[in-house]
Amino acid sequence: MRINPTNKFSDHSISLRRMIDLNRKDATALNLLLYILNGKTEKFPNRQLFSQALNHAYALRAYSNVSGFGDRMLLDIRFSWISEDLVQEEGYIREVIDLIDQILFHPCITQKNLDEAKYLLKNRLSMQMQDPDTQAVRLLFESMPEDHPISIPVQGSIEEIDKITLEEIKQLAKRLSETPFEIIGVGSIEKEVMDYLNALPMQDYECSKSPLIDLKQPAIVTAKRDIAQSSLALLYATHMKPDSSDYFALMVMNAILGSAPMNLLFEEIREKHSFCYSISSSLIRFDGALLIVTGAQKDHFDEIRELIAAQIDKLKHATKMISEERLTSARLDIVDAIRTQEDSALRLMAQMFMNIYLKREISSEQMIDKILNVSLEDVEKAARPLHLIGDASVIQSAEGASEELLNSDLEEIMQTSNE
């Protein structure tokens, strides 16, 4: 358990994290279980009673989320409550602890609640799949080898929802109740809460051992859909794990390429050629991948592919083709993001968890120092291994979607890591 005892926030926050292996059925089942955890418990079996209980505890806030870490899923349940010093009401902290315990260990799992969860998850996934970029990314990850975790949708799949039974949800909840926590907190947390947390089973999780994604030849897939615009998604292998000493250089390289406010992809493809509506890049760190997504007219896709390849080639020759001014701008953009995390308990806890998960001890100032010391030579070194492993395009069809595509139209976007 790691606690940052800062008095910077009026609220105290804790994050209780559990990991289980990533597979298609459990991914969907876990997202269904979250809908039950988020609104009902044995003591508060409907949303009205649950909401009233949270409000009575001075608007205690509870959040839960599922994310992918390579070959595992992380279930993160977070709680925030007002400091006891500001409330000064007898029994207040016991009420907070009771609600935490109800959410963690006493979900109200009934067929009615599961049916409601299935409806909500179907609706959420179907709404997400109205976005052309989401569809392109789904197709891209779906085209990756089935035995690699990047191909599994960590937010669940519509095709799996109706297959999941009440007994399977109960078994999953039981398995989770027996899984140790990684516990992280921010604030001067009350002794009663600390005593409760210390009694929970805890462990440090080992970093994902799944292999980094790689293909000798890129997987290429195209689909026609009845959508608002066409979208193109490209996947590059980075060959770099997040605990590598060179990972900070990869972050800077990605900022120069497509994640900073002013970047090569945007300037060259959007501003100079007006080929796209939007374009950006992001790192999928535990799978060793770099994702580029752009919304554009389909007639420009071949030119966009060529221009993207040209920008990556520039980074592979950064010492000759990237200016020091651009490097400085990218570094400072990342530094600003690191500094702003000091103003967010959620971001502080996320950084604390990464330190634990990657078995490192690095402060924000040390991270900033490493970023500021990334050179063009470092950027060039990080860019050299990049090579294309996936190309997916969703093409706008005036005639509407084909029957095959309609059958899969509501599937969820595949796993992408945080960052």
Between CA 105 and CA 16 the distance in angstroms is: 12
Query: Which tokens hold the place of 190?
Result: 């009350």
Q: How many CA atoms within 13 Å lie on the side-chain side of 167?
A: 0
CB-neighbour burial class of residue 272 (10 A; exposed 0-12, middle 13-18, buried 19+): exposed
| 398 pLDDT tier (thresholds 50, 70, 90) | low
| Structure tokens belonging to residue 103 | 């959410």
Contact 21, 71 (CB under 8 A): yes
Distance separating alpha carbons of residues 149 and 286, to the nearest angstrom: 10
Q: 125-173: per-residue pLDDT in tens?
A: 999 888 999 999 999 999 999 999 999 999 999 999 999 999 999 999 9
pLDDT of residue 408: 38
Query: What is the C-alpha separation between 343 and 366, in angstroms, rounded?
Result: 17
Please report the pLDDT score of residue 409 as a whole number: 38
Q: Taking the CB of residue 228, how many other CB atoms lie within 10 A of it?
A: 11
Percent of the chain residues past pLDDT 70, beyond the cut: 95
Q: CA 229 to CA 86: how far, in whole Å?
A: 51
Residue indicated by tokens 């996936």: 390
pLDDT at residue number 412: 34
Rounded to 10 degrees, the C-alpha dihedral 87/88/94/98 comes to -10
126 close to 157: Cβ distance less than 8 angstroms: no
pLDDT score at 204: 86
Query: In 229-309, at which residue ranges do the beta strands (DSSP E only) sit?
Result: 230-237, 276-284, 289-296
Enter the pTM of the model.
0.90
Is residue 202 very low, low, confident or very high in pLDDT (cuts 50, 70, 90)?
very high
Q: What is the DSSP-derived secondary structure letter of residue 181?
A: B
**Average pLDDT over all residues of the chain:** 92
Dump pLDDT digits (tens) for 312-371. Answer: 999 999 999 999 999 999 999 999 999 998 899 999 999 999 999 999 999 999 999 999
Strand 230-237 relative to strand 219-225, pairing: unpaired
Which helix H or strand E contains 335, and what residues bound it? helix 324-340
Q: Shortest CA distance to 376 belongs to which of 310, 312, 318?
A: 318
Residue 83 has a pLDDT of 94
Average pLDDT for residues 239-266, to the nearest whole number?
A: 96
H helix count then E strand count, the chain: 18, 10
Which pLDDT score, from 0 to 100, does residue 220 have? 97
Q: CB–CB of 71/64 below 8 Å? A: no
> For the chain, how many residues are written?
419
